[in-house]
């Protein structure tokens, strides 16, 4: 078991280049299945979830290879349509293979996906949408099988689910007709998936709005050109995580390869807290002078609202800010799992249902903590950097699922953190 060991109280300073987005990399990698071709995907983060998706692709018959930050995927040899249950259990985003396999072969067998333990995240919207597109879907226990042909038409999602939007976009690619999906999620990562699909030769329009149009291309077509090259969108959640760590430690840093337009609500929250934010083309600088103040209320919402994936980190920042903060979690039902360890470190946080009430304390104290999920684990690392004394964050693998070389990146900014392999206690 790997654990983070942190000596807190050191302001983070310097520069950081934001990597490609985890939440773009996973659906884009799944989309390489849609058409057999050789793909070069650049600025791809080397993280646990990407490695898990890579293993799934290889299990289906694809070949993969890394060259620095570029993953090469040759999907021409894919000849299987069932994702092994063991691999599905490791990562929720493996559900994207349902749509891409249907686009490729008209058949897909998956199992209910794993991932972070942050509450119920049913895939009913995915399944209902596939049935509306003309596929036959059967669920037996944890096993889900889909087959058939996409008949196209117009469907309306009951909720703007990011995963369902992306899955249905891919499933509709091989349709005999055109498909219109309404009430779509509008996250930037969905527009990035559209960008990849268009680079691969498909006709998809409207991503980034609530209506997406997919022109059915039929099955078995080759991708445009010999190789498909694509550069991933930058990771707005990674950027927000490191910015929070900088502000929490009273530091100052410049972040490159990140556009302010992708994270408006997070930056507004920082400014409400008294932090200084300066942005220009693909660069954002943040710093704090003195103790931050409460931003008032934070409510998580689908994009362009405040992202749920930043809520745990901001809760940590608010735990040492002056005043009372209310956090309302509207996306997931169990996303306050980090609260227990923050309280252990001296934070004053009460939770009731969807709400967390945070009374800012002067400082946090180092403690033994345990990461239970990806973003909650990142929040505890930030707390350790902010705290007085030593902090241990156990189960670093949760954090490594979504952050490449977190410890080395924080050390480059001046943080005192190392990863140690230790026996479970």
Q: Catalytic amino acids?
A: 116
Nearest to 366 by CA among 323, 420, 417: 417
- State the Cα–Cα distance between residues 275 and 43, nearest whole angstrom: 29
d(CA 36, CA 17): 33
In order of 98, 121, 129, 148, 395, the CA distances from 137 in angstroms are: 11, 18, 10, 9, 36
- Say whether 54 sits in a helix, a strand or coil: helix
From CA 223, how far away is CA 96, in angstroms rounded? 19
List binding-site positions for phosphoenolpyruvate: 22-23
**Known binding-site positions for UDP-N-acetyl-alpha-D-glucosamine:** 92, 309, 331
At how many degrees (to 10) do helices 22-31 and 162-171 cross? Answer: 20
> Buried b vs exposed e over 14-40: b needs ≥16 C-beta within 10 Å?
eebebbbbbbbbbbbbbbbbbbbbbbe
Half-sphere exposure of residue 126: CA atoms within 13 angstroms, side-chain side: 28
The string of DSSP codes covering 205-274 is E-BTBSEEEEE---SSPPPSSSEEEEEPPB-HHHHHHHHHHHHHTT-EEEEES--GGGGHHHHHHHHHTT
Question: Residue 148: helix, strand or coil by DSSP?
Answer: strand
- Residue 193 burial (CB count, 10 A): 27
Are residues 384 and 249 in contact, defined by beta-carbon separation less than 8 angstroms? no
Q: How far apart are CA 193 and CA 321, in angstroms?
A: 37
Q: Which residues pair with 325 in a beta bridge?
A: 358
Does a cis peptide bond (omega within 30 degrees of 0) precede residue 304? yes
Chain centroid to CA 18: 14
């Amino acid at each position: 078991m790997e654990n983070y060991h942190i000596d807190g109280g050191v302001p983070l300073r310097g520069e950081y280049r934001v990597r490609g987005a985890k939440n773009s990399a996973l659906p884009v990698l799944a989309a390489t299945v849609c058409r057999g071709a050789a793909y070069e995907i650049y600025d791809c983060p080397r993280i646990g979830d990407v490695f898990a998706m890579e293993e799934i692709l290889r299990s289906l018959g694809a070949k993969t290879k890394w060259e620095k930050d570029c993953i090469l995927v040759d999907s021409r040899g894919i000849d299987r349509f069932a994702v092994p249950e063991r691999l599905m259990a490791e990562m929720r985003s493996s559900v994207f293979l349902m749509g891409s396999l249907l686009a490729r072969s008209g058949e897909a067998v998956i199992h209910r996906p794993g991932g972070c333990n942050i509450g119920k995240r049913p895939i009913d919207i995915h399944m209902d949408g596939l049935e509306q597109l003309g596929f036959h879907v059967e669920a037996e226990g944890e096993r889900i099988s889909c087959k058939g042909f996409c008949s196209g038409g117009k469907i309306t999602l009951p909720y703007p689910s990011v995963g369902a939007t992306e899955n249905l976009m891919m499933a509709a690619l091989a349709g005999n007709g055109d498909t219109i999906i309404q009430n779509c999620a509008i996250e930037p990562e969905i527009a990035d998936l559209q960008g990849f699909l268009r680079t691969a030769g498909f006709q998809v329009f409207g991503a980034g709005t609530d209506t997406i149009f997919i022109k059915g291309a039929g099955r078995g077509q080759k991708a445009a050109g010999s190789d498909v090259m694509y550069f991933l969108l930058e990771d707005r959640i990674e950027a927000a995580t490191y910015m929070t760590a900088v502000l929490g430690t009273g530091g100052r840093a410049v972040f490159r390869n990140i556009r302010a337009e992708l994270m408006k609500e997070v930056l507004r929250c920082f400014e409400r807290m008294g932090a200084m934010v300066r942005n220009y083309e693909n660069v954002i600088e943040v710093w704090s002078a003195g103790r931050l103040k409460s931003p008032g209320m934070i409510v998580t919402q689908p994009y362009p609202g405040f992202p749920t994936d930043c809520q745990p980190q901001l809760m940590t920042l608010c735990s040492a800010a002056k005043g009372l903060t209310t956090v309302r979690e509207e996306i997931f039902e169990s996303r306050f799992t980090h609260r227990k360890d923050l309280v252990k470190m001296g934070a004053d946080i009460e939770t009731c249902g969807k709400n967390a009430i945070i009374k800012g304390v002067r400082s946090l104290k180092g403690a033994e903590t345990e990461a239970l999920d990806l973003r909650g684990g990142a929040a505890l690392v930030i707390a350790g950097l902010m705290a007085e004394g030593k902090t241990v964050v156990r189960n670093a693998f949760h954090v490594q699922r979504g952050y490449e070389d977190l410890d080395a990146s924080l050390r480059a900014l001046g943080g005192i953190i190392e990863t140690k392999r230790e026996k479970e206690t």
